[in-house]
Structure 1
């Protein structure tokens, strides 16, 4: 039996058309992961990493179909939590929500360090400079989020144009330096290394979950959403495959760098490429982190019991609460920033070691959503959801140690005593799901 979403819908103005919708989807899928992951994938699997890119693009197509079908048939501002709860029950919805938040809390500092590497590369600094730049970026974006400033659709459109221009320029400019010799040996670390490379690259393919709540902002979702998702999938397919191939073909042994985009831009335009890459890295990181922090704050407020994390009971305090990050989420972000940036800055761990942690949290989110889709959807979309579910399980199997924190958060969310959800604080606030 198909379960309908039970959350109360708030009035939503259908303000998205195909162009803006496509820009938002592309922006969610193409993010700061492109600054680091191509180099990490080559380090893990060599030229064979291109097979990991191709396999994940197939999986991304499956996710596109699943989230499009969920968005059309079960539109909800609750996003992934609402989908998981509708298909699998409130405990599963809560587990998906907490894994999404854990992915943001652990991923934001790592993304900032990725950007910091580009700043350090430009200024000739080391890992300490990269970590200092990451700390400034994280504190800056948290400050902006706390002030209630959100990334507008217009700004996100500009960020997408900038990202596409930088990546296309890097790929087109570096392509003439490609050499067939750089493709051999094709699998220097063995064919089994493709699995871990795919697990690492998965962070570049998350994003379908981030824009799930946007589906009810289309005037004609049944007609517009398939077009928008088709544009987003086609754009990301071309960019990802081109970037993965040129990274190997043009950089060769130097492809396993922490700043692959800077290396490609240096080949394309000379020394100025480092500066272009650094500026682009900062802008893209700030935009992406702001978007995820805003989404995490909205989700966290549905998990916050009445009276927790906010002071005062006045109408002004209630209005502020709707746009303010709960104090416990802010504490988590600051704590993870201190720990993770500190570990990376002292050299105690490498960025390659930590990047799988947020990736695995987001994989659990996809696991819950695809499993729920197997129950919520019917016909061909249900079959696609089943294949997508298997794909997620396969990638999760290569996550290694990163499964431990993901399993711990999932278990706590599933078996912890359930608290009553926060009541809506005004007619404009939607009732929380679960």
Structure 2
């Protein structure tokens, strides 16, 4: 078998993207944003959604015209050349040691609360999370899509229950009057909130597995972004109403605190389970996309290698297992090195934004008409965000620079010199 199975439907695609965009963000970012901008964070969510629309639309146009498991790397190849494609592919893979283990650690934090005392440790929880990721991925895209759709519905139900039990009224959703001073706080909040929509680039790797990519892929991106944006905004309304922000403890515990206030202590385990499911859903799509990136590169350049093979379920099983080994090693290093989790996340964010930027640059060259100018506007937005990353963008630039060097050419020249001597 040399082709991935086309099993993703429109509904499962929406479920996968929306849960990926929500992921860990729903349990942290609304409270953090409220702490920065207060009630003006409601405006910030609206501004963010409007800003992300052109980027989402551009990814939708690229995925519609070029559905491929290579994702952004494949778009770059179509626009430029194979050498740059390899650099982008391995740039995306370089997020494994910094970004994915950090997300796994966040998911494991929720899982620990569900484990018995004998297994209640961070490393055990992380190992179990990786094992579950492998199991779900090897089961196939269809099963994974169904699981993430169920998780998405559970998240929406939780936010709806908050609105119902919290007795949200018209006055609670009234947008505050904008002032000159508020613009600064909205801008500061946007710097944090942008990461809630990091995940679209990973979803681009799934385009080849849609049953009808030309029709369903762009619709899934647009609806998935809208659903995630609306959920974040609705959650922020409840957080503002009950003032579950402004203290360090609320940055990661606003949702459990709200649940306890509205439903009582008995819902604590349920919220922990939902928190793990939301974080797991986010990491799951990245695991899928990364394994498909590795498989797509192997299919293109080493078709006889084990990484280029698919299982009977049409899944890049060997690439998934290889990825799992790297994840376990990265989790061990992260656990015993004592490096700050926030540090890893900032490094990963630099890679994600650079991947977005390169995708928009490719779209500006590949697309025509209104889509081309939309890609140009999105490119400007990505450049602005990348500059705002400050020191954390250096990791992405360093990795990309090293990957872009002509290593193959130098190796051939060295080999020729040795043979001649």
Same fold (TM over 0.5): yes
| Structure 1 unmatched runs, 5+ | 1-8, 420-434
Q: 2: distance between equivalents of 1:217 and 1:276?
A: 33
1:371 positional shift: 0.8
How many Å separate the matches in 2 of 1:214 and 1:320? 13
- TM-superposed deviation, 1:284: 2.5
Whether the 8 Å contact between 1:196 and 1:399 is mirrored in structure 2 is: no
Aligned residue among 186, 199, 207 for 2:199: 207
> 3-state SS of the aligned residue for 2:202?
coil
Could you tell me how far 1:82 is from its partner in structure 2? 0.4
Preserved contact between residue 118 and residue 262 of structure 1 (Cα < 8 Å): no
What is the match of residue 109 of structure 1?
A: 101
Q: Does 1:381 align with 2:371?
A: yes
Give the equivalent residue in structure 2 for 1:249: 241
* 3-state SS of paired residue (1:406): helix
TM-score, length basis structure 2: 0.78
Q: What is the CA-CA distance between 1:17 and the residue it aligns to?
A: 3.7
Aligned to 1:290: 284
Tell me how far 1:70 sits from its aligned partner: 1.0
- The CA deviation string for residues 67-117 of structure 1, in whole angstroms up to 9 with x for no partner, is 111122222232221012212333432333223223343222222333344
Aligned to 2:393: 403
CA contact (8 A) 2:104 2:129 kept: no
When residues 228 and 265 of structure 1 are mapped into structure 2, their CA distance, relative to the original with a 3 A threshold, is same
CA distance in 2, matches of 1:48, 1:336: 39
Q: How does 1:121-270 map to 2 (within 5 A)?
A: 132-133=121-122, 135-146=123-134, 148-150=138-140, 152-174=144-166, 176=168, 192=184, 194-195=186-187, 197-254=189-246, 256-270=250-264
- CA distance in 2: counterparts of 1:68 and 1:319, whole angstroms: 27
Question: Counterpart in 2 of 1:336?
Answer: 330
The answer to whether the 8 Å contact 1:28/1:207 transfers is yes
- CA drift of 1:280 comes to 0.7
Q: CA deviation at 1:143?
A: 2.9
Equivalent-residue separation in structure 1 for 2:224 and 2:3 (angstroms): 27
Taking a change above 3 Å as real, the CA distance of residues 81 and 192 of structure 1, as seen in their structure-2 partners, is same
- The TM-score, its normalising length taken from structure 1, stands at 0.76
Aligned residue for 1:18? 10
Tell me the SS of whatever aligns to 2:98. helix
Query: Equivalent residue for 1:428?
Result: none
Alpha-carbon deviation of 1:175? 5.7
Q: Render the CA deviation track for 1:350-372: whole Å, top value 9, x for unaligned.
A: x4454322222111111111110
Assess, with a 3 A threshold, how the Cα gap between structure 1 residues 119 and 77 changes in structure 2: closer, same or farther: closer
CA-based RMSD of the aligned residues comes to 4.2
Residue of structure 2 in register with 1:4 after alignment: none
Provide the secondary structure at the position in 2 that maps to 1:209: helix
Q: Which residue of 2 aligns with 1:355?
A: 345
The answer to whether the Cα contact below 8 Å between 1:83 and 1:369 also exists between their aligned partners in 2 is yes
**Does structure 2 retain, via aligned residues, the 8 Å contact 1:96–1:364?**
no
CA contact (8 A) 1:170 1:261 kept: no
Whole-Å Cα distance in 2 between the matches of residues 23 and 31 of structure 1? 12
Counterpart Cα distance in 2 of 1:26 and 1:198: 19
Task: Evaluate the alpha carbon distance shift between residue 319 and residue 173 of structure 1 in structure 2; reply closer, same or farther with a 3 A threshold.
Answer: closer
SS at match of 1:106: coil
- Could you tell me which runs of 5 or more consecutive residues in structure 2 were left unpaired when the two chains were aligned: 410-421
Q: Give, in whole Å, the separation in 1 of the partners of 2:397 and 2:253.
A: 31
In structure 2, distance between residues paired with 1:355 and 1:89: 30
1:299 to 274, 293, 301: 293
Task: Name 2:405's counterpart in structure 1.
Answer: 415
Deviation at residue 287 of structure 1 after TM alignment: 3.3
Alpha-carbon displacement from aligned partner over 1:183-226 (angstroms, at most 9, x marks no partner): 99x99x98545445433323321222222233344454444444
How many matched pairs? 399
- 1:301 shift after superposition: 3.8
Bigger mean CA offset, 144-153 vs 370-379: 144-153
